[in-house]
Each structure stands twice: as C-alpha cells, then as structure tokens.
Amino acid sequence: MEQMEILDGKIELPKGFVASGVFAGIKRSKKDLALIYSERLANISAVFTTNRVKAAPVILDMERAKKGKAQAIVINSGNANACTGEKGIEDAKSMAKKVAEVLEIEEEDVLVCSTGVIGVPLPMEKVLKGIEVAALSLSKEGGYDAAHAIMTTDTFLKAVTVKFNVEGKDITMTGFAKGSGMIHPNMATMLSFVLTDASVEKATLDKAFKNTVNRTYNMISVDGDMSTNDTAIVMANGMAENKAIQEGTYEFDLFYKALEYVNKTLARLIAKDGEGATKLIEVNVINAKTENDARLAAKAIVNSNLVKTAIFGEDANWGRILAAVGYSGADFDVDKVDIYLKSAKGEVKVCENGSFFAFDESLAKEVLKEKEIFIIVDMKAGEFMATSWGCDLSYDYVKINGSYRT
C-alpha cells in the first residue's frame, strides 16, 4: 500500500462532495437523516440485497442505478420503509423529489436508502422537513454527521479515507458504512457509500466495484439473516480532472487496490461490530482447488452458529470448523485438511489431515482469549484462497434483538 496514504477511521470528502447528517425525528433523539451531494453528476455503481423481499428504496434505486449516473443520495435510519406497500414506493419517490427540489437537480439523479424497523410507514412530514434542514447543513466537514446519521444498532462509526496520485492528479476516496445485525451474504445487512473525485469510465467503475463487493461485503456474516435494505453505492464525480481510468492500465490497478481496501476495511468493521459481539473472526481458507471452493468454505465457517458460539466460549472445537467446510459445497479431500487457530497470543494447529491432532489445549485457550481470532484452513489442494469475516455469537445478541422494536 506504499502508493496510498491511508486514513483509517477518517472521512475526508473528495473534491466536489458535501454531506450532512441531522435529527429529523424518525428516531427518539439521535441523528437519523443523511444527505450526500456531488457538485457534478457522477458515474455510479450499486449493489443491492438479493432478498426477494426488497424495501421500497431498493426497488427505486435498482431502476435508477441502471443508467450509471447520480448526483445525490438521501438516507434515513430508524425506519426501513420495507414491506410498506405502494405507499412505501411513493414515500421513497417523495424523498427523492424533495432532495431534487432543494438542491435544484433532476429527480432521477437522486438515490434513496433507508435502514431500521421493517413494516412501519415513514413519518413523511418529519422526513421531508429533515431533508430541507439537511440541505441547508451540507458542508465539506459533514461526512462525520452523515456517517452517524445512518447508524442503527452500530456501536461505533465505520469510515476510511485513502489518497493516491494518478498521472499527477491527487485522488481522494472515502467510504463510510453502517451494519451490525442481520448480516449475511449476499449482501450483508448494511449500507455503504464510497465517494471519489477520480474520473473513471462507467463500465470500468461498475466492474471494479462489483468485483470488490464480492470479495468484501459478500464475505461477512454476523447472524445468518439477510436484510431487505442492503445497498452499497460508489460515486465517482471526476473532479480530480484526471484522464478517465480504464481497465488494463497501471492507473486502474491503483484505483482497484484503493477501492478494495476501502470496501475491505468497512466490511471488516461491520463484522467487528456485530450485535453483541465480543470477538472479530477472520477466516482464511488457503491452498484450495479453486477460488470458488475457497469462498464457499470460508463463508460456511464464518456463518456457522456453532463455530461462532465456540469462539465466544473460547473453546477450540475444531470439529465444528471442519463440519462447516464439509457442508459448504466446496470440493476438497477431508484427509488433507489442516486447521489452525491464531491471535496475538500465538498460533496453534488443532487438526491435521482432517483428523485428531494432539494440540496444546492451554495454548489454544490463550489464543482464543484475544479479541481478534484468525481461523486458517489449509486445503492442501491447490493455489487459491479466500477470506471471510464475522464475529462470535453471544448472550447479548439475543438481548439486543429480543427488544429491537422497543
């Protein structure tokens, strides 16, 4: 990452972008409405939930995103505007219309995102007034307010900024996201927004973004539940004035690395902030026959409730890991699989060739006491690998979700 300046936890809006986050009254007290605006119409790419039950804003955005252009995004939290019938669609359109009016842009160039409780109509009078306030509050420093306004059960802000140079032009890329519960590929229950002033050809941006989404957001899991509102959007407004980046160039490779780093960082933070989580789990499946085999195995492990509870209990129950690989659909030889557990306290092999291995139980216990746990599965079958991220499953997850509406 030598060619990039990385600002983890920071939001530095790229050239031509402003944002805001305000309290509209959807929630009881915290900020609940965010607005992102680009001075110039931007190329975009977007990925949405694969749940057949889709929220109204997702339905609206899926159609609008087809043209690959947008200039503003309005986001509310506290209410998902999902399972709200035709009224929900009308409300999402009304949000976009209000944004277009106050910013004096085309309504079709406004995207809408919502997150929160399902099956409750939006309090539109409050929402529309909130949009007016948000428009008046737009600023270069408003990224932090916007990032806070999209949070629901999140316990911390998820953000990152990277900077790099393309042919003498300084490029900034910043991303922020929300996500804590109902996290399961594809995609995780989340909202993610990546903004850049780079000039990137529309088709190139679309391919790069969707490829990185598959390697990042689609490789995280908290609880196996898929949301109705999942949305990830990238906006590239070209205001850095670089020559449009095309695939197959050095500039594209640099842009792709930056985009993947931003999405990977946000995905990892979402997994870390899983509801009730006490530990971040990173699964690395290595030496698989194909990348697909590695991805299948890694996703199965990180999504296994039995693996999650074992990590929470600091129990080196490697049989649960191997069982998850077994039902993952990956092609592998069980008699070749080795499994390791690793953390800041060290590394311990717990399974060799798919069978019992006399490992040091006390060392394994020490390894599992840490807050970040790495599970390494060596398939010894090829040269491909994949990484997934998740968290443990604790008593607090039940507490949080048992009273989510209250």
220: CB partners within 8 A, 6+ apart = 183, 185, 188, 267, 268, 270, 271, 302, 388, 389, 390
E strands, 23-168, are: 33-48, 69-79, 110-117, 158-166
Residue 365 burial by Cβ neighbours in a 10 Å radius (0-12, 13-18, 19+):
middle
Cα R_g (the chain), whole angstroms? 22
Helix (H) or strand (E) holding 184: none
The single residue listed with the structure tokens 């693996």 is: 307
- On whether 401 is known to bind a ligand per the annotation, the reply is yes
Task: In whole angstroms, give the CA distance from residue 289 to residue 337.
Answer: 12
Q: What is the DSSP letter of 257?
A: H
- Reported as half-sphere exposure (CB side, CA atoms, 13 A), residue 252 has a value of 16
- On whether 247 is known to bind a ligand per the annotation, the reply is no
Q: What is the DSSP letter of 355?
A: B
Task: In whole angstroms, give the CA distance from residue 264 to residue 204.
Answer: 19
219: CB partners within 8 A, 6+ apart = 185, 267, 295, 298, 299, 302, 386, 387, 388, 389
Taking the alpha carbons of 369, 370, 373, 374 in that order, is the dihedral positive or negative? negative
Contact call for residues 390 and 373 (beta carbons, < 8 A): no
Of the residues 189, 228, 231, 265, only one is catalytic, namely: 189
- Two tokens at 315? 């129990």
Phi and psi for 353 in degrees, rounded to 5? 55, 40
Strand 338-343 to strand 372-378: parallel, antiparallel, or no bridges (unpaired)?
Answer: antiparallel
For residue 321, give Cα distances in angstroms to 287, 339, 369: 17, 8, 18
- On whether 196 is known to bind a ligand per the annotation, the reply is no
Residue 49 among the catalytic residues: no
- On whether 30 is known to bind a ligand per the annotation, the reply is no
| Residue 248: count of CB within 10 angstroms of its CB | 8
Task: In whole angstroms, give the CA distance from residue 316 to residue 334.
Answer: 19
3-state secondary structure of 14: coil
| Residue 138: count of CB within 10 angstroms of its CB | 18
- Two tokens at 69? 């252009």
Residue ranges at the known binding site: 152, 178, 189, 275, 401, 406
Positions marked catalytic:
189
Residue ranges at the known binding site for substrate: 152, 178, 189, 275, 401, 406
